[in-house]
């Protein structure tokens, strides 16, 4: 069933959505066209098996919500499975199952996506169903109110029942003091409780229109086949809104380091994390986002990274350590580091060790060998991503939904290869400034 996800494959509300940062790739002969109603269509040929992945992306996520109705983007995602005038609730899902296909959906900060994977001969069928619910959704209180309880229970189980998720929300809310990325995708509980049919219809009418959507089809199809099917299905859907340019409140330049701490008797493993406000691929200038992707690999990307070797292997004060970079955001994203203590080591010791490694790379930059290894790993990931039809569809969809282009995706490996050691050093100096950060501590507290 539909789920709320983050744009980042990170702790918290986030079961590994699109991997756009580490897997932007040229690969297949991708084509694109736009229907008269404004729907952009992207076709990614993959002839290895007679199947297709069909994804519709709406350029509307939780960061596009009106203040006071947090969670409505994700709530509407749930409600989109409740049926239309033409196809009653459950018919679409039943048809996909009867065809031997798979379906799901996810909501992020910047987009909402619905997808099906079916045999190639059934592509037009799922297109027709999806085009129908783009405009024909039927919502009544009898449908909406019970589903709101489902979302509330989802929040209780995934966030309220998980101290690490609660800390993640607190860190995000402290990092984004003005921007809506500080509000959880699933929404705040007290606001979810008040969501109703009118809120859902208002969001649906505003954003669910073909000129605010991207259709991505990957699989055993040609551009001409997809064009014909898209015109016969989505092409019949009229524009019904003009969402305009996406304008969100800008986050002010951070001036003070912040710290949050959460203690809970359910904590079995303490940890420390720090998030820095960081430019994304959309907001970063020049090669800065590419340098941050490489910095993430060098500093905390696996067991050969600096943080892991220093804290886990050499000092033996951590059971795990690493970092990640959320660059696939429409607005400024995050660069985060984390560590889990080993034995009697304290969180304070971990912080000191983390800061030492950050200071070292900010002063000296990476050496030639580790920079080349990081480039090789990232570019190799783009090759491996091409082995998954669904992953390719997600890469292109998420990139286009957050301001990128097909050309950006194709050029990503070459842009990564061109990054210099000096660029990585400068990215560390300017981004990993404590004044731009929020540090979060997760601690055990006796009941």
Question: 386 falls in which pLDDT band (50, 70, 90)?
Answer: confident
Strands, E assignment, 284-431 = 318-326, 333-341
Sorted by sequence, the CB contacts under 8 Å of residue 86 that are 6+ apart come out as 132, 136
The H or E element that residue 380 is part of is helix 368-385
pLDDT at 276 over 90: yes
Q: pLDDT per residue over 368-385, tens digit each?
A: 999 999 999 999 998 888
Nearest CA to 302 out of 276, 280, 324, 277 is that of: 324
314 as an active site residue: the answer is no
pLDDT at 383: 87
User: Structure tokens of 85?
Assistant: 């005038």
Q: Do residue 126 and residue 82 come from a single domain?
A: yes
Does residue 253 lie in a domain region? no
pLDDT at 17 over 70: no
Q: Do residue 182 and residue 269 come from a single domain?
A: no
Query: Mean of the pLDDT values across residues 279-289?
Result: 97
pLDDT at 28 over 90: no
Q: Do residue 229 and residue 272 come from a single domain?
A: no
Query: Mean of the pLDDT values across residues 296-313?
Result: 97
Query: Mean of the pLDDT values across residues 413-438?
Result: 97
Q: Do residue 423 and residue 353 come from a single domain?
A: yes
Q: Do residue 36 and residue 98 come from a single domain?
A: yes
Q: Do residue 218 and residue 262 come from a single domain?
A: no
Q: Do residue 384 and residue 417 come from a single domain?
A: yes
Q: pLDDT per residue over 205-248, tens digit each?
A: 999 999 999 999 999 999 999 999 999 999 999 999 999 899 89
CA dist 74 and 77 (Å) reads 5
In contact, 276 and 338? CB cutoff 8 Å: no
Q: How many CB atoms lie within 10 A of CB 29?
A: 9
CA dist 104 and 93 (Å) reads 9
CA dist 176 and 341 (Å) reads 27
Taking CA atoms, 269 is separated from 4, 43, 274, 414, in Å, by: 26, 45, 17, 41
Sorted by sequence, the CB contacts under 8 Å of residue 271 that are 6+ apart come out as 164, 338, 339, 340, 341, 347, 441, 442
Catalytic residue among 65, 77, 282, 370: 77
pLDDT at 16: 32
Q: pLDDT per residue over 133-148, tens digit each?
A: 999 999 999 999 999 9
CA dist 289 and 68 (Å) reads 32
Q: pLDDT per residue over 108-123, tens digit each?
A: 999 999 999 999 999 9
CA dist 51 and 53 (Å) reads 7
pLDDT at 308 over 50: yes
Task: Give the sign of the dihedral formed by CA 27, CA 28, CA 29, CA 31.
Answer: negative
pLDDT at 66 over 70: yes
pLDDT at 24: 41
pLDDT at 27: 60
Does residue 252 lie in a domain region? no
Q: pLDDT per residue over 129-182, tens digit each?
A: 999 999 999 999 999 999 999 999 999 999 999 999 999 999 999 999 999 999
pLDDT at 18 over 60: no
pLDDT at 1 over 80: no
Question: 261 falls in which pLDDT band (50, 70, 90)?
Answer: very high
Q: Do residue 20 and residue 121 come from a single domain?
A: yes
Q: Do residue 189 and residue 265 come from a single domain?
A: no
Q: How many residues does the chain have?
A: 447
Q: Do residue 281 and residue 429 come from a single domain?
A: yes
Write the DSSP string, 128-178. Answer: HHHHHHHH-B---HHHHHHHHHHHHHHHIIIIIT-HHHHHHHHHHHHH-SS
Mean pLDDT, all residues of the chain: 93
The enclosing domain of 435 has a CATH number of 3.30.830.10
pLDDT at 434 over 70: yes
pLDDT at 3 over 80: no
Nearest CA to 326 out of 196, 150, 190, 171 is that of: 171
| Domain hosting residue 299, numbered range | 258-444
pLDDT at 25: 41
pLDDT at 26 over 60: no
Does residue 242 lie in a domain region? no
- Sheet with 318-326, side-by-side order of all strands: 258-264, 437-444, 271-278, 333-341, 318-326
| Phi, psi of 104, deg, nearest 5 | -175, -175
Query: Mean of the pLDDT values across residues 328-354?
Result: 97
Q: Do residue 274 and residue 141 come from a single domain?
A: no
Q: For the chain, how many structural domains are there in total?
A: 2
Which residues are 262's β-sheet partners?
442
Q: Do residue 224 and residue 304 come from a single domain?
A: no
CA dist 87 and 82 (Å) reads 9
User: Structure tokens of 133?
Assistant: 């619910």
Query: Mean of the pLDDT values across residues 194-214?
Result: 98
């Amino acid at each position: 069933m539909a789920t709320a996800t983050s744009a980042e494959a990170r702790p918290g509300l986030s079961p590994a959505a699109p991997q756009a940062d580490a897997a932007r790739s040229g690969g297949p002969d991708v084509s694109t066209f736009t229907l008269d109603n404004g729907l952009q269509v992207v076709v990614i040929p993959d002839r290895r098996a007679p199947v297709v992945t069909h994804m519709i992306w709406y350029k509307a996520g939780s960061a596009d919500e009106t203040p006071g109705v947090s969670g409505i983007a994700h709530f509407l995602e749930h409600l989109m499975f409740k049926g239309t005038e033409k196809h009653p609730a459950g018919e679409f899902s039943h048809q996909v199952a009867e065809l031997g296909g798979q379906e799901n959906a996810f909501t992020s900060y910047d987009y909402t996506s619905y997808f099906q994977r079916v045999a190639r001969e059934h592509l037009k069928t799922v297109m027709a169903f999806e085009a129908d619910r783009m405009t024909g959704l039927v919502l009544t209180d009898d449908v909406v109110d019970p589903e709101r309880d489902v979302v509330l229970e989802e929040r209780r189980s995934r966030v309220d029942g998980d101290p690490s998720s609660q800390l993640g929300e607190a860190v995000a809310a402290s990092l984004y003091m003005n921007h809506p990325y500080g509000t959880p995708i699933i929404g705040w509980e007290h606001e979810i409780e008040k969501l109703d049919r009118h809120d859902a219809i208002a969001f649906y009418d505003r954003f669910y229109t073909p000129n605010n959507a991207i259709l991505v089809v990957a699989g055993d199809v040609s551009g001409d086949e997809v064009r014909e099917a898209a015109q016969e299905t989505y092409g019949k859907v009229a524009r019904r809104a003009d969402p305009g340019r996406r304008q969100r409140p800008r986050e002010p330049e951070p001036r003070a380091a912040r710290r949050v701490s959460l203690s809970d008797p359910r904590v079995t493993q303490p940890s420390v994390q720090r998030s820095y406000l960081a430019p994304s691929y959309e907001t970063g200038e020049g090669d800065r986002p590419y340098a941050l992707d490489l910095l993430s690999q060098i500093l905390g990307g696996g067991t050969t990274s600096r943080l892991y070797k220093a804290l886990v292997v050499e000092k033996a004060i951590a059971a795990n350590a690493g970092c990640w970079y959320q660059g696939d955001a429409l607005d400024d994203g995050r660069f985060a580091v984390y560590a889990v203590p080993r034995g009697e080591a304290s969180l304070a010791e971990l912080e000191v060790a983390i800061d030492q490694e950050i200071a070292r790379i900010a002063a000296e930059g990476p050496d030639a060998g580790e920079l080349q290894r990081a480039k090789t790993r990232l570019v190799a990931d783009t090759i491996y991503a091409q082995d998954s039809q669904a992953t390719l569809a997600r890469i292109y969809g998420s990139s286009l939904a957050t301001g990128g282009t097909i050309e950006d995706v194709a050029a990503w490996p070459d842009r990564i290869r061109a990054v210099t050691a000096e660029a990585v050093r400068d990215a560390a100096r300017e981004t990993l400034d404590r004044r731009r950060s929020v540090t979060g501590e997760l601690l055990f507290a006796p009941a």
